[in-house]
Amino acid sequence: MTGQRAVDQDFPVLGGGLFIAGPGGWRRGLSAVVAVGARPCSGAIIVLVFALAQGLFWTGVAATFLMGLGTAITVAVIATIAVGAKAWAKRFADTRAGYGMLAMRCIEVAAALVIIAFGTLLLTGYIVTERMIGV
């Protein structure tokens, strides 16, 4: 790996030499950012049209930029948590041979059950509000 420093091949090094692993490197990452950013945001379009209709175009532009900033902060925080959780899970699994894999499977099953429960609650709420069953 020429010109790039890494402590562990699985995780990017933050602060000491940020890199994107795999073929393509920064070019691949930048093309993904441009591809996602090129798609217009429907919420931003609604805000801009509403602001234009109210005669507050520049306020709409400012609101749209603030929406983008909020989205960027949220995505960055979630990505940072995900990378940190992966590093923590890898260390946890490495220190307890066998137990780590069992713990990871339990976490996966628990996450799946939470998603199923949430979906069931949403479906039940819809059925009740539409009066499909008497409650």
Tokens 């940020």 locate to 18
Which tokens sit at 49? 């049209």
Distances (CA, A) of 9 to 12, 31, 62: 8, 22, 41
Global confidence as pTM:
0.49
Indicate whether 4 pLDDT > 80: no
Which tokens sit at 21? 């692993």
Which tokens sit at 53? 């209709």
Report which DSSP code applies to 17: -
> pLDDT tens across 40-99, in order?
788 889 999 999 999 999 999 999 999 989 988 998 899 888 888 877 777 777 776 677
Which tokens sit at 62? 């400012």
Q: What is the pLDDT at residue 115?
A: 96
- For the residues 98-127, what does the mean pLDDT come to? 88
Which tokens sit at 79? 């990505």
